[in-house]
């Protein structure tokens, strides 16, 4: 199969996984919220999900470079199937500790799959004419659009078929994706020409290190108010139903994904984005949650709706530029090493953001979560200053 066909398989695989990942997050969040869990307890359910994402990105990048990205991608699908199966047990078994373990496996699976998909693009596309930038944007944007669909799917499945049957439906979908991937995906995809030692997984590139630090704060800034605080605020203060919360967050993620996928038409039409682009976008984005925090008490529902739209567009542009920069800066040989390190920082930011989302909301409300978000975005901009010059284009396959 040619490179474009392999890219299509990688993308379809990523899409199937992302759909179930988004649905699972919404199912767990809403199911345990209706059981009476506090915001901090809800955040704790995702603690291992994010923590093991940190570990997985480091180990997964090393494994992908040694064994091939088809191995890590298929392994991610298999582990996610096992994680979903764990949640089909009787309701009495679904303690916080048990769900945290299941979520740990899901976090491992998600980051194996994401790292594999993002790293595959480097091997399958060329940056000679901006192709790498466009295809990274398409992969990232379409993934987030489908994650939004997954949010809605999770909320609807919870109301229509219940928690357990929803798990079985997602198991069936992922099993089909795994069979296709095992049959069609190139076994040599992403293998490094030499077998890297584990110590090589820690990036020795200052640009990658600073970009990873910027990513840590950028995604922490999103999750500090979006993951737990926003859904709980919508349910408890705005009085929205599960389906309304799922639909709203789904539409936001879908729109966010569409903007990501079309970022090259917004930014970088004449030249690829640079570290300066990342800095400017961060400074603009930081103003949004701060303004929302100052105005939230005036008209909460309107501020949330309008603010989220603006934040979503600007955050999508920030994220897409970051996603391009890491793939562009990564070494062509064994890309997954540096991409894995970068997404380890991404997972770290999500972990901190998730915990802060539950804790800060519980003690100080949504306004405080928004203020913390603004501060973290500013820190992401500071990190972007140090990224350095744009990497040289490196022609690749396709």
Q: Look at phi and psi of residue 334 and say left if phi exceeds 0, alpha if psi is from -120 to 50, else beta.
A: left
205/49: higher pLDDT: 49
| 81 lies in some domain | yes
What is the SS3 assignment for 366-397? HHHHHHHHHHHHHHHHHHHHCCCCCCCCCCCC
The residue behind tokens 């920069």 is 325
Identify the pLDDT of residue 313: 93
Identify the pLDDT of residue 188: 63
**Per-residue pLDDT tens digits for 166-210:** 999 999 999 999 998 888 777 666 555 555 555 555 555 677 888
The token pair at 328 is: 């562009």
In contact, 67 and 11? CB cutoff 8 Å: no
192/122: higher pLDDT: 122
In contact, 314 and 31? CB cutoff 8 Å: no
**Per-residue pLDDT tens digits for 325-368:** 887 776 655 555 667 777 788 889 999 999 999 999 999 999 99
| 394 lies in some domain | no
| 172 lies in some domain | yes
| 392 lies in some domain | no
The residue behind tokens 């090393």 is 62
CA angle 133, 53, 25 (to 5 degrees): 90
Identify the pLDDT of residue 397: 31
| 147 lies in some domain | yes
CATH number of the domain at 309, please: 1.20.1250.20
| 82 lies in some domain | yes
Closest among 43, 15, 57 to 347, alpha carbons compared: 57
Identify the pLDDT of residue 389: 54
Identify the pLDDT of residue 359: 94
**pLDDT confidence tier of residue 15, bands split at 50, 70 and 90:** confident
Distance of CA 219 to the CA centre of its chain: 9
Q: What is the DSSP string of 262-294?
A: THHHHS-SSS---HHHHHHHHHHHHHHHHHHHH
Residue 122: pLDDT above 70? no
* Average pLDDT, rounded, for the chain: 83
**Could you tell me the pTM of the whole model?**
0.73
Residue 295: Cβ-neighbour burial (10 angstroms; 0-12, 13-18, 19+) = middle
Residue 233: pLDDT above 70? yes
E strand or H helix at 316: helix 300-329
CB-based contacts of 229, cutoff 8 Å, min separation 6? 39, 357, 358, 360, 361, 366, 369
Q: How confident is the model over 55-65, as a mean pLDDT?
A: 72
Residue 79: pLDDT above 80? yes
Q: How confident is the model over 296-312, as a mean pLDDT?
A: 94
In contact, 318 and 281? CB cutoff 8 Å: yes
**pLDDT confidence tier of residue 72, bands split at 50, 70 and 90:** confident
| 53 lies in some domain | yes
The token pair at 230 is: 């926003």
191/43: higher pLDDT: 43
Per the structure, the complete domain to which residue 180 belongs is given by: 3-189+196-385
| 397 lies in some domain | no
Identify the pLDDT of residue 393: 41
CA-to-CA distance for 376 and 11, rounded, in angstroms?
31
**pLDDT confidence tier of residue 128, bands split at 50, 70 and 90:** very low
Identify the pLDDT of residue 324: 83
Least confident of 130-134, 206-210, 270-274: 130-134
Tally of structural domains, the chain? 1
The token pair at 38 is: 């506090």
Positive/negative CA dihedral, 187, 137, 348, 326:
positive
């Amino acid at each position: 199969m040619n490179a474009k066909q392999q890219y299509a398989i990688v993308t379809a695989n990523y899409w199937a996984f992302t759909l179930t990942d988004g649905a699972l997050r919404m199912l767990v969040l809403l199911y345990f919220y209706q059981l009476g869990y506090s915001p901090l307890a809800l955040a704790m359910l995702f603690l291992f999900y994010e923590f093991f994402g940190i570990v997985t990105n480091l180990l997964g990048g090393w494994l992908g470079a040694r064994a091939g990205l088809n191995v890590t991608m298929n392994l991610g699908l298999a582990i996610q199937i096992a994680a979903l199966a764990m949640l089909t047990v009787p309701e009495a078994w679904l303690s916080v500790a048990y769900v945290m373990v299941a979520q740990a496996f899901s976090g491992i699976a998600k980051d194996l799959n994401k790292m594999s998909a993002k790293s595959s693009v480097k091997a399958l596309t060329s940056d000679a004419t901006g192709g790498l930038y466009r295809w990274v944007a398409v992969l990232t944007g379409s993934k987030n659009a489908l994650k939004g669909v997954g949010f809605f799917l999770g909320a609807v499945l919870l109301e229509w078929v219940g928690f357990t049957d929803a798990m079985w439906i997602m198991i069936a979908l992922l099993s089909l994706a795994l069979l296709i991937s095992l049959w069609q995906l190139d076994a040599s995809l992403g293998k490094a020409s030499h077998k890297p030692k584990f110590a090589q997984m820690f990036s020795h590139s200052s640009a990658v290190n600073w970009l990873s630090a910027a990513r840590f704060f950028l995604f922490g800034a999103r999750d500090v108010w979006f993951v737990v605080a926003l859904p709980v605020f919508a349910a408890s203060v705005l009085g929205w139903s599960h389906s309304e919360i799922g639909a709203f967050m789904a539409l936001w993620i879908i729109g966010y994904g569409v903007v990501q996928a079309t970022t090259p038409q917004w930014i970088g039409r004449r030249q690829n984005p640079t570290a300066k682009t990342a800095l400017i976008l961060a400074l603009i984005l930081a103003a949004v949650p701060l303004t929302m925090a100052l105005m939230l008490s005036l008209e909460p529902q309107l501020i949330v709706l309008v603010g989220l739209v603006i934040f979503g567009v600007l955050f999508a542009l920030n994220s897409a530029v970051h996603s391009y920069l890491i793939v562009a800066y990564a070494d062509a040989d064994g890309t997954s090493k540096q991409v894995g390190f970068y997404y380890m920082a991404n997972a770290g930011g999500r972990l901190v953001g998730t915990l802060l989302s539950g804790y800060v909301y519980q003690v100080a409300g949504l306004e405080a979560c928004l203020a913390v978000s603004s501060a973290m975005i500013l820190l992401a901009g500071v990190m972007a200053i140090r990224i350095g010059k744009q990497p040289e284009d490196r022609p690749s396959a396709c």
